[in-house]
Chains A and B, each alone.
Chain A
Amino acid sequence: MDIDLMMKVYPFFLKAAWVTVQLSVLTAILGLICGSLGAAARLSRHAVLRWIGGAYVSFIRGTPALIQLFILYFGGPQVGIQLDAFEAGVIGLGVNIGAYMTETIRGAIISIDKGQVEASRTLGMSRFQTFRKVVLPQAMRLMIRPLGVNINALIKGTALVAAISVVELTYTAQRYIGSTYKPFEMFLMSGLLYMVIIYVTGRAVTWLDNKAKIV
């Protein structure tokens, strides 16, 4: 193993790791927004919204994320959507993970005992007040860990945007392989940095989950 080479190129990989972190954070935020809207739609009183939410989830989960990225990045300009690679990466991955988060959030909400809603409604609280003060605070606690799983998948999923040449960890490894012919070292270095990002995220999720425990 060529340690010297690794020492020489690692600053470039750190820079790439920073791009991966930015990509992950922005994607997670967009994913949470899409997931919340998706869950709201799927749980709506209105059949049309429920259908739209269902179609969103089915389409995203039924097609490869890579194809979704290609549709957005390569197909976009054809219908007037011009995005640079990074923007397409964030939007493509965010909308993708949002579908999985839709199901996570919806699952947490519907798992709250119906008796909770009944107790709140019999006190005279409205549907919205009941949701905000009774259901959501309980559901939020339940969704921390499964959302953590979604985010873990999302971080690893950012590797896909190498395919549209965003200069992140995977793309950087590929680029240095081109000039060094050392795929083992280059991919290993990328892998280790992914692991660090995922480890830190995992600890943050555990910390949040513990903090949210009621008693």
Chain B
Amino acid sequence: MTDEKPFVDIRHAQKSYGTLEVLKDISLTVNRGEIVAIIGPSGSGKSTLLRAINDLDPLTGGEVWLEDTQINKQLPHRQYEKHINQVRQDIGMVFQHFNLFPHLTVRGNITLAPKMLKGLSEAEANALAEEQLDKVGMLERIDYYPSQLSGGQKQRVAIARALAMKPKVMLFDEATSALDPELVEEVNLVMKKLAEEHMTMIIVTHEMGFAESVCDRVLFMDQGVVVEEGPPSVIFRNPENERTKNFLRKHLASNKE
């Protein structure tokens, strides 16, 4: 299921805000079909790293590649915009706060970009929306507005919206953190389904149980560096680094409250 050539390749990523170094020389490769979880304390740079992949938060140093395309190319403004709009179609992103378009129905949310960017007809876009919504179990809500949905339903629609662009890789930034506990599972199930279909995924999460059951590899980040990485069985059961151990211990303790 994975081949040797890196699919997503982050080389020496650096990011500073003024004097604050948020990412300190991070390298990470993800193979096709691989599912990688990024964990770590708040402020460690997880979101920054994830958002650097589609250049939403541009790096101050280093390179990001998707297959044979460098994403964060230095280009004149117009050319850069053209380039980035093209590569972003291949990178789906799911946000903590869903960011559905409130003025559009579920259908409108999903069909907007495929119609604008891929020239799909109304009928083709509708068929696509129905297919994706069926996948996330939201087909019967196709004509609802986001304000009429629960958090879990919104997030499933947001996932369907990203999938409708047929991305090569999906990025999740704490997709379930804003949800009521009883709504987390329905979103996790959708993500598991994607995993079974071998979607390449990079998942920032605070849910260790989910990461352990779904991911092929876990990265523990702290203060802008990858402190430890490995298969979930090792990171969660037998971490080597003291910082990893501390973080997991604290995290388990706070989750038991």
Contacts and interface: CB of A to CB of B under 8 A. Distances in A.
Contacts of A197: none
Interface stretch (A53-61, A125-133, A162-170): A125-133
A124 B86 contact: yes
Most chain B beta-carbon contacts within 10 A, residue among A113, A122, A125 = A122
A215 B145 contact: yes
| Band of interface residues on B | 20 to 34
A123 B101 contact: no
A121 B56 contact: yes
B85 A126 contact: yes
Interface in A94-148: 113, 115-116, 118-127, 129, 133-134, 137-138, 141
Nearest to A113: B99
Given A115-B95, A116-B101, A125 B147 contact: no
Contacts of A122: 54, 56, 88, 91-93, 162
Given A116-B101, A133-B112, A141-B103, A124 B117 contact: yes
Nearest to B117: A124
Interface in B82-118: 85-86, 88-89, 91-93, 95, 97, 99-103, 112-113, 116-117
B103 A137 contact: yes
Interface string A192-206: 000000000000000
A195 B161 CA distance: 49
B42 interface: no
Nearest to B147: A215
A123 B161 contact: yes
A1 interface: no
A132 B3 CA distance: 41
A126 B165 CA distance: 15
Nearest to B91: A122
Contact of B117 (A123, A138, A214, A215): A123
Instruction: Please indicate which of the listed interface residues B100, B103, B165 has the most CB atoms of chain A within 10 Å of its own CB.
Output: B103
B117 A119 contact: no
Given A122-B88, A215-B145, A138 B161 contact: no
Contacts of A134: 101, 112
Contacts of A115: 95, 97, 99
Nearest to A127: B81
A5 B148 CA distance: 60
Contacts of B101: 116, 119-120, 134, 138
Contacts of B81: 126-127
10 contacts: A116-B99, A116-B101, A119-B93, A119-B158, A123-B113, A124-B86, A124-B88, A125-B117, A133-B116, A138-B102
Interface of A: 113, 115-116, 118-127, 129, 133-134, 137-138, 141, 214-215
Interface of B: 54, 56, 81, 85-86, 88-89, 91-93, 95, 97, 99-103, 112-113, 116-117, 145, 147-148, 158, 161-162, 165
